Structure 1
Amino acid sequence: MITLSADTRPNSARPTPAHRHGPSLVSVRDGLWRVVDRSGAVLGHIEREGHGDTERYLARRLLASSRRIEMGAFWRIDDAADCFR
């Protein structure tokens, strides 16, 4: 399971520990996280999207430097981050 640390401010460039063998989340700005592997390579992004009183998290995987694949929309950030395992 991937969780965010308490420090998810937009200016925080500190990787968020996820799982010992899984990816980490790095805050890019409010509502956007970069997903990186243990070596620091960028795997993709997770973006928070609001819908009235609810939020969901959009996962996008990066392939080559210019291609993105929509992985899906999830109600929990942990579920969105699991796409990158």
Structure 2
Amino acid sequence: MITLAPPPAPGLIAVGADRWRVVDRDGIVRGLIESGATPAGMRFRALRFHVASRTFRPVGEFWSAAEAADTLRLSR
């Protein structure tokens, strides 16, 4: 059995050990966040789904999950 970590910020739904779905107040999915350790510390990568290519495209890397989630929620 895999135990998922609690969401690192509000509005995130765990979909894997180090992956969260970002939803806005209306429940609309805005993208994904993946976390990963680096020599400088934990980083959070924001990803947005690109319909035409059926892939996730990186939006940016951040020092907090809240920053990554805000970027996905506020950018369209």
Please confirm whether the aligned pair reaches a TM-score higher than 0.5, indicating the same fold: yes
Identity of aligned pairs, percent?
A: 33
Q: Which runs of 4+ in 1 moved over 4 A?
A: none
Question: 1:73 corresponds to which residue?
Answer: 61
1:51 deviates by 1.4
- Tell whether the 8 Å contact from 1:56 to 1:74 is kept in structure 2 after alignment: yes
Report if aligned partners of 1:11, 1:28 keep a CA contact under 8 Å in 2.
no
User: Equivalent residue for 1:36?
Assistant: 23
CA contact (8 A) 2:21 2:29 kept: yes
Residue in 2 that maps onto 1:62: 49
Structure-1 separation of matches of 2:25 and 2:9? 10
Q: CA offsets, 1:7-59, max 9 Å, x none? A: xx5287xx8873xxxxx100112211011123333211000011146110000
How many residues are treated as equivalent by the alignment? 70
Q: Which amino acid aligns with 2:63?
A: W
Structure 2 gap segments, 5+ residues each: none
TM-score (ref. length: structure 1): 0.64
Structure 1, unpaired ranges of 5+: 1-8, 19-23
- The yes-or-no answer on 1:10 pairing with 2:4 is yes
Determine which structure has the larger helix proportion and give its number: 2
CA shift in 2, pair 1:79/1:53, >3 Å:
same
Alignment partner, residue 4 of structure 1: none
